[in-house]
Amino acid sequence: MLKLFDTYERKIRPFTPLNPPQVKLYACGLTVYDYAHIGNLRSYIFEDILRRVLEFNGHDVLHVQNITDVGHLTDDADAGEDKMEVGTRRAGKSAWEIAEIFTEAFKQDLAQLNIHEPHIWCKATDHIAEQIAMIQCIEANGYTYRTSDGIYFDTSRLDDYGYIARLNIEGLQAGSRVAISEKRNPTDFALWKFSPPDAQRQMEWDSPWGVGFPGWHIECSAMAVKYLGTYFDIHCGGEDHIMVHHPNEIAQMQACHNTRLANFWLHGYFLQLDGLKMSKSSGDFLRLQTIIDRGYDPLVYRYFCLGGHYRSKLTFNWQAMDGAATALQRLRTAVSQWPDPTQPDETFLANFTNQVNDDLNMPRALAVTWNLVKSDMPNGTKKATIVEFDRVLGLRLADWQPEAEQPIPNEVQALAAQRQAARAAKDWAQADALRDQIAAAGYDITDTPSGPELKPRAANA
C-alpha cells in the first residue's frame, strides 16, 4: 500500500483516494516574475514523482497547478511590493509580458526535465471573479475586517489557526516586537489589497471593496475549489509554504467551506548551495539553463534529485552533478545494449514498488535499479523490468541511444601530426602550443605507447 507523510498530521499515513480510482492533486505553482531556479525545479520533480507513483499504483490522477501572476508580495506576510511589479522594472516590460515570458520558460524547463505538465493550468489573473466570490463568502461568515490598505482575515476567529505549522499563536503575539500596521493580530493576512493611491498598478480590478488586487493566499484556495472541489486528496508545495501560505489557505477554507481543503498535505524540502537555501533574493540563483550551458543533459539534474528523499534537504554542487552524469551514462549505456524487452521480473518489480510506495523513497528505488542492472538475470528481462521502473524514474531510458562517433576533422589531425613532429624535435614549447590549439578545437590528445589519441572533449570539461 502507498504510504505518504502528511504534514498536517505529522506522520506517515496509508493513502486511499477519497473517490477511487480518481486522485485529485493540487500543486502550488511558480510566481512568474523571473525564471524558475533549480531549487524550484526540485519541488516540481518531487511532485512529478508523486504523480507517477500514484499512476504506477493504478490511480487516475487529475493534476491542477496554478500560475501566480499577481498578488505575491516580496514579503510573504503581506509587506512590500507585488513581485510582478518588481519584475517589470528589472525586465523593462509590462507585467502581462513578463508573466507570459516566464510562464513559457517554466514550461520549457518542465519539458526538459521530463516533468508531466498538469492537466489544468490556472492563472490567478484568469480567476479574479472566483477569488472575489470566496472573499465575499469569508466576509459573510464574519472572518474579515477592513483596514486602510485592504480586507484582512481575522485569524483569532479560528481556534486551530496554524495547526499545520504547529504555530504558537500566544508566543507570536507576546513576542511581537515590530509594528503590524493596522492588523489586529500578527498572523492576520490580506484577502484583497487596495491599489496605492499614489501609484499606478498595471494589474488591478474593481471589487465590492474598491479597486485593488487579490492576496496571494486566496488565489490557490479559490482555484483549487473551482477545479477540485472543497475537499480533495492531496495538496503539494515547498517547505516554505508550511509556515504561512498553507495555514492561510486552510484558514480560508475553514471559514468558507468548513474543510481543511486536502486530505494529505505534502511538502518538498529545499535545495541548498553549500548550506544556503536556493533563492533569487539571496543571489544563489541557478537556472536549468545554467546546467545546460555547462554541458549537462537536463536529465542529469533529474537523476541528481532522485538521489535525495523529498523530505530531506539536498546540497547541490558540481562534483555531485558529475557523479550523477557518470551514473546516468552508465545506466543508459547498459539499457541501450540490452535486447528487446521480454517480461519484467516480478520480484524486482515488487521490491521497487515497495520502495516508491514507502513515502516516495527514491534513493532506495535507485538502489533496487542498480541491483537489477548488476544481476545475472536475462538482459531481455532486465530491460522489461527497468522500463517499468522508468515509469516512475522518468529518465527516458528506453529512448536513449549512444551518439555515433564523429570522424576527427582533418585540420585537427594535422595539428596532432605537427605536435608529434614538434615532440620528436624536442620543441616542447611548440608541442604545448599545438596541444592548446587542439583543445580550443574541442579535442583532447593523449600520448600512448602506440602514438597520440584524439578524443572529443567532454561537454562539461
209-236 tens-digit pLDDT: 999 999 989 999 999 999 999 999 999 9
Residue pair 59/20 in contact (Cβ under 8 Å)? The answer is yes
Percent above pLDDT 70 for the chain: 91
Whether 54 and 108 map to the same domain: the answer is yes
* Residues making up the chain, counted from first to last: 461
420/76 Cα distance (integer angstroms): 64
Instruction: State the CB neighbour count (10 A cutoff) for residue 290.
Output: 13
For residue 318, the domain's CATH number is: 1.20.120
The grid coordinates of residue 453 equal: 589519441
Over 90: is that where the pLDDT of 304 sits? yes
Q: How many domains does the chain have?
A: 3
- Kindly indicate the confidence band of residue 297, based on its pLDDT and cuts at 50, 70 and 90: very high
* DSSP secondary structure, 289-301, as one string: HHHHHTT--HHHH
**Running DSSP on this structure, what letter comes out for residue 31?**
B
Run of H or E residues at 112: helix 95-112
Fill in the amino acid letter for 400. W
Whether 110 and 257 map to the same domain: the answer is yes
| Position 289 in a domain | no
pLDDT, averaged across the chain: 90
pTM: 0.85
Whether 422 and 345 map to the same domain: the answer is no
Run of H or E residues at 356: helix 346-356
Residue from 193, 235, 165, 3 nearest 81 by CA: 193
For residue 14, the domain's CATH number is: 3.40.50.620
Over 80: is that where the pLDDT of 180 sits? no
**Running DSSP on this structure, what letter comes out for residue 156?**
G
| Position 290 in a domain | no
Whether 389 and 444 map to the same domain: the answer is no
φ and ψ at residue 393, rounded to 5 degrees: -60, -40
- Which domain does 347 fall in, by range? 298-399
Instruction: State the CB neighbour count (10 A cutoff) for residue 312.
Output: 10
Q: Which residues contact 174 (CB under 8 A, 6 or more apart)?
A: none
| Position 281 in a domain | no
Whether 436 and 313 map to the same domain: the answer is no
| Position 308 in a domain | yes
User: pLDDT tens digits for 350-359?
Assistant: 999 999 999 9
| Position 461 in a domain | no
250/260 Cα distance (integer angstroms): 5
| Position 252 in a domain | yes
Rg (CA), the chain: 27
pLDDT at 177 (0 to 100)? 42
- Average pLDDT of the residues in 317-342: 95
Whether 221 and 120 map to the same domain: the answer is yes
Whether 76 and 148 map to the same domain: the answer is yes
Residue from 326, 324, 338 nearest 373 by CA: 338
End position of a domain, from candidates 399, 427, 442 = 399
Q: Residue written as cell 558540481? A: 318
Whether 211 and 325 map to the same domain: the answer is no
Whether 87 and 231 map to the same domain: the answer is yes
pLDDT at 457 (0 to 100)? 74
Strand-pair partners of 22: 19, 60
Whether 43 and 176 map to the same domain: the answer is yes
Fill in the amino acid letter for 249. E
